[in-house]
Amino acid sequence: MEEDAILQIRHLSKSFGKQEVLRDIDFTVSTGDVISIIGASGSGKSTLLRCINLLETPDRGEILFHGRNVAGKGTNQPAYRARVGMVFQSFNLFNNMTVLENCMIGQVKVLHRSREEAREQAMSFLGKVGMAPYINARPRQISGGQKQRVAIARALAMNPEVLLFDEPTSALDPEMVGEVLAVMRKIAADGMTMLVVTHEMAFARDVSHRVVYMADGVICEQGTPEQIFTAPTQERTREFLSRFHADR
Amino acid sequence: MSRFAQLGADIAKLWTKYGSAYISGMENTLILALVGTVIGCLIGFLCGVLNTIPCGKNDPPVKRFFLGLLRVIIRIYVEVFRGTPMVLQAVFLYYGLPYFTNNSVKFTSVWVAAIVVVSINTGAYMAESVRGGIISIDPGQTEGAKAIGMTHVQTMTSVILPQALRNIMPQIGNNFIINVKDTSVMFIIGFPEFFSAHRATVGASYLYFPSATVEMAGYLTMTLLASFLLRWAERKLDGSSSYELVQTDQLTMTAGTYSYPEQGTPFDERSKEFSGSAAGKET
């Protein structure tokens, strides 16, 4: 199991000023894993994801990418980020480009693919997320759900080894959540390694192989969805999940 | 009423005699303002970009020192050139250089001197505008670019600056229009711009007011033209307000057309093929 680990997080800690956001986080992501990270707002889920992508610099601990620590000095951050995709809560599509250009720019500038190759690749992923008809649209002209689907296609077009989702449906109207989750299910079924911070418990339960419950900057409990959702060992996990079970 | 007739006659007289001087003055003014604004914008963009290089406390001390030094230098440049009149800057540079170097360094062409002065002056104003333009862009844009592996320079040139440029277009327009008018102080170093044509004309004809009227009309024409062109450029930068839905078989239908949204796809009403076939049906 250890050798096909893509990411190993070891003793990761992060503070903002005096506020300790992450404390001694430890976990491993292996090829093909779909891991959901759940927990209350402010529990450090997003910060963890942002640390993994080095958008935040961890204070202590290691992030081993294929066994090599990327959290220290001397890491080629852009090269690392090109292999670790990220989908944001607020989409972050480039407003000065069309949908197609959004999905091509990274391939051309970072991976140095030819424009033809980049377009072909972008078109195939835009087709996969159902956004192919909108390639000439600009981000301000499409809906939130459509933006997020383009953002997913943009990340996929880089052929990342692992894809990080930072609350991908939290900024969406309820009727748009479904289309984004459907796309994510499809990608998971294709075998993409995914790390998903989410409040969508149904997605966490049905799609992920492993669920990580975070509270107050630590991993409180992790296990298979069955374990976490039907027989949580920790009181805090039970309490957190009871709020979601109530409306079912 | 007779005064107006007199004014008209005087202007006509001025124009027949000195028209070419006015025209060439306007040309020189426009060229100077345009070149000065463009180079000034480049200086401003350079300063704005250098000013916004991210620098945290985790960076090595050497980098932080140089970035700090750079920011101080840019700050001094901005404050000095924004805080002194352009007319004096022109005098300072044009006469100051030979004075200090015993005539070994001097501007061989009044054009070079004028362009240098206008450019660094505009650059000082634009540096702050560009900085404002850059920090006005949502940090999410930077994160999105970083997340797909772009470097700082790639992020800037591909994502941030094009958007910042759009946001500061009104400022660039302001600067251009200010330059059209304010280059009138360049007569001080003998630059043959529009206002110097006035000085030469009245020196010979003593028709102060009619010549001033010509100048007024001339400057207003130039600035109105500039405003119009700038608005047009802004609309151009905004791109099309609508988009074409592409048909199901995208790869063949849109090959080569995606970067020209105004041309649309081969099957919409704006394309030549469509109107050609429609016309064909009618006949």
Reported as a single tens digit per residue, the pLDDT across A226-248 is: 999 998 999 999 989 888 765 44
CA B175-B176-B179 angle, 5° bins: 85
Which tens digits make up the pLDDT trace of A118-138? 999 999 999 999 999 999 999
At B273, the pLDDT band (50, 70, 90 cuts) reads very low
Give how far A38 is from chain B: nearest CA, Å: 22
pLDDT score of B250 more than 50: no
Q: Are residues B36 and B169 in the same domain?
A: yes
Give how far B73 is from chain A: nearest CA, Å: 29
Residues of A in contact with B144 (CB under 8 A): 88, 91-94, 151
Burial class (CB in 10 A: 0-12, 13-18, 19+), A21: buried
Is B6 inside a domain boundary? no
Is B14 inside a domain boundary? no
> Contact A85/B147 with Cβ under 8 angstroms?
yes
Which pLDDT does position A246 carry in this prediction? 52
Q: Are residues B161 and B182 in the same domain?
A: yes
Is B2 inside a domain boundary? no
pLDDT score of B256 more than 50: no
> What is the pLDDT of chain A when averaged over all its residues?
91
Which pLDDT does position B260 carry in this prediction? 45
Contact yes or no for B147 and A136 at CB 8 A: no
* Count of positions (residues) in chain B: 283
Return the sign of the alpha-carbon dihedral for residues B241, B247, B251, B255. Answer: negative
Which pLDDT does position B277 carry in this prediction? 42
A224: left (phi over 0), alpha (psi -120 to 50) or beta: beta
Give how far B151 is from chain A: nearest CA, Å: 6
Is B205 inside a domain boundary? no
Burial A152-170 (b: 16+ CB within 10 A, else e): bbbbbbbebbbbbbbbbbe
| pTM of the full structure | 0.79
Select from B138, B148, B157, B250 the residue whose CB has the most chain A CBs within 10 Å, as the one to mutate to test that interface.
Answer: B148
Contact yes or no for A141 and B243 at CB 8 A: yes
**Mean pLDDT, residues A183-207:** 92
pLDDT score of B59 more than 80: no
Distance of CA A64 to the CA centre of its chain: 17
Which pLDDT does position A103 carry in this prediction? 96
Looking at the partner chain, which of A93, A133, A135 has a beta carbon nearest the beta carbon of B258?
A: A135
Q: Are residues B186 and B258 in the same domain?
A: no
Is B121 inside a domain boundary? yes
Q: Are residues B30 and B128 in the same domain?
A: yes
> What is the pLDDT of chain B when averaged over all its residues?
83
> Contact B165/B236 with Cβ under 8 angstroms?
no
Nearest to residue B241, comparing CAs of A56, A137, A108? A137
Residues of B in contact with A151 (CB under 8 A): 144
Is B199 inside a domain boundary? no
**Mean pLDDT, residues B226-231:** 90
Give the three-class secondary structure for B239. Answer: coil
Q: Are residues B281 and B233 in the same domain?
A: no
> Contact A51/A12 with Cβ under 8 angstroms?
yes
Q: Are residues B128 and B261 in the same domain?
A: no
8-state DSSP, B108:
S
pLDDT score of B89 more than 80: yes
Is B211 inside a domain boundary? no
Q: Are residues B225 and B265 in the same domain?
A: no
Q: Are residues B168 and B54 in the same domain?
A: yes
Which pLDDT does position B2 carry in this prediction? 86
Which tens digits make up the pLDDT trace of A30-76? 999 999 999 998 899 999 999 999 999 899 999 999 999 998 888 88
pLDDT score of B96 more than 90: no
The encoded tokens of residue B139 equal: 């940090």
Q: How would you write chain A as a 3-class SS string?
A: CCCCEEEEEEEEEEEECCEEEEEEEEEEEECCCEEEEECCCCCCHHHHHHHHCCCCCCCEEEEEECCEECCCCCCCHHHHHHHEEEECCCCCCCCCCCHHHHHHHHHHHCCCCCHHHHHHHHHHHHHHCCCHHHCCCCHHHCCHHHHHHHHHHHHHHCCCCEEEEECCCCCCCHHHHHHHHHHHHHHHHCCCCEEEECCCHHHHHHHCCEEEEEECCEEEEEECHHHHHHCCCCHHHHHHHHHHHHCC
Number of structural domains (chain B) is 2
Q: Which residue of B has its CA nearest to A57?
A: B58
Q: Are residues B105 and B228 in the same domain?
A: yes
Which pLDDT does position B138 carry in this prediction? 93
Give how far A206 is from chain B: nearest CA, Å: 28
Which tens digits make up the pLDDT trace of A16-26? 988 899 999 99
User: How many CB atoms neighbour CB B283 within 10 A?
Assistant: 4
pLDDT score of B265 more than 50: no
Contact yes or no for A83 and B258 at CB 8 A: no
Looking at the partner chain, which of A92, A110, A138 has a beta carbon nearest the beta carbon of B243?
A: A138
**Mean pLDDT, residues B172-192:** 92
pLDDT score of B257 more than 60: no
Is B136 inside a domain boundary? yes
Q: Are residues B138 and B272 in the same domain?
A: no
pLDDT score of B251 more than 50: no
**Mean pLDDT, residues A177-189:** 92
Measure the N-to-C terminal CA separation of chain A; round to a whole number of Å: 36
8-state DSSP, B246:
P
At B267, the pLDDT band (50, 70, 90 cuts) reads very low
Residues facing A35 on adjacent strands:
A195, A210
Contact yes or no for B158 and A81 at CB 8 A: no
Looking at the partner chain, which of A55, A57, A138 has a beta carbon nearest the beta carbon of B58?
A: A57
Give how far B37 is from chain A: nearest CA, Å: 24
Which pLDDT does position A2 carry in this prediction? 52
Of all residues in chain A, the percent with pLDDT exceeding 70 is 97
- CA dist., res. B155 & res. B160, Å (int): 6
- CA dist., res. B65 & res. B67, Å (int): 6
Q: Are residues B173 and B261 in the same domain?
A: no
pLDDT score of B71 more than 80: yes
Q: Which domain holds residue B41?
A: 25-192+216-239
- CA dist., res. A50 & res. A67, Å (int): 19
Which tens digits make up the pLDDT trace of A153-162? 999 999 999 9
pLDDT score of B263 more than 50: no
CATH number at residue B68: 1.10.3720.10
Which pLDDT does position B215 carry in this prediction? 92
Contact yes or no for B148 and A94 at CB 8 A: no
Residues of A in contact with B244 (CB under 8 A): 136
Give how far B67 is from chain A: nearest CA, Å: 19
Give the three-class secondary structure for B63. Answer: helix
Contact yes or no for B148 and A138 at CB 8 A: no
Contact yes or no for A55 and B143 at CB 8 A: yes
Q: Catalogue the long-range contacts made by B89-93 (C-beta closer than 8 Å, 24 or more residues apart).
A: B89/B117, B89/B120, B89/B121, B90/B114, B90/B117, B90/B185, B90/B186, B90/B188, B90/B189, B91/B188, B91/B189, B93/B117
Q: Are residues B164 and B264 in the same domain?
A: no
Distance of CA A197 to the CA centre of its chain: 6
Which pLDDT does position B97 carry in this prediction? 86
